[in-house]
A and B are shown apart, each in its own frame.
Chain A
Amino acid sequence: GQNIDQPTEMTATEGAIVQINCTYQTSGFNGLFWYQQHAGEAPTFLSYNVLDGLEEKGRFSSFLSRSKGYSYLLLKELQMKDSASYLCAVRDHGNKLVFGAGTILRVKS
């Protein structure tokens, strides 16, 4: 079956670095996405990985290892506005996007 696992909740301090992990087992692989969702708002696209390695975009980076079925989202220099839910999603060979349940990140001062 299709399965995406990520931690339910994490807490980190303003200015720190946090890593949110995601492991997946899907019917094939056609790319991995990270979305950010603030409470009461639309999920917004953060990053896309289809090849192994690290993709960096400002304070946010995303890593992928296809052989391990593993990704992480790295957030540096945390700000209070980074408090949100972070959704990991994998596109399978049928082009379906399979989502994890999301990780709620709380940033404290």
Chain B
Amino acid sequence: ETGVTQTPRHLVMGMTNKKSLKCEQHLGHNAMYWYKQSAKKPLELMFVYSLEERVENNSVPSRFSPECPNSSHLFLHLHTLQPEDSALYLCASSQDLPAGGSGANVLTFGAGSRLTVL
């Protein structure tokens, strides 16, 4: 396994279902991210975990619940979603820089989970 792996690649769910998206990174990075990608719109940052602590929560509705049990795994738990939540959900990882550090801190993305809410 290389890079960042997301499962499932495709998910169709009803508004009353509960499902989870899974992300695994094999790069030894210390930060993981969830992004939402909708057609013709910029990537929207949802959550950031650095050293397994949530450091960013961009006013995301509570029907999305992240979980980061360790530095290699990230989950997004989904509950009572709306049709407008249909999108591509991208996971990414990076090596966070120490405070005051400089450098690219490049994100490595997974291929995404395509979610359709009926």
Contacts and interface: CB of A to CB of B under 8 A. Distances in A.
A31 B104 contact: yes
Contacts of B106: 33, 45, 48
Contacts of B41: 101
A76 B98 CA distance: 37
Interface string A59-89: 0000000000000000000000000000101
B107 interface: yes
A2 to B, nearest CB: 9
Chain B facing A: main interface SS: loop
B40 A42 contact: no
Contacts of B4: 42
Contacts of A40: 111
Nearest to B33: A97
Interface string B70-96: 000000000000000000001000000
B42 A42 contact: no
A50 B109 CA distance: 21
A7 interface: no
Contacts of B111: 40-42
Interface of B: 3-4, 40-43, 45, 56, 90, 102, 104-112
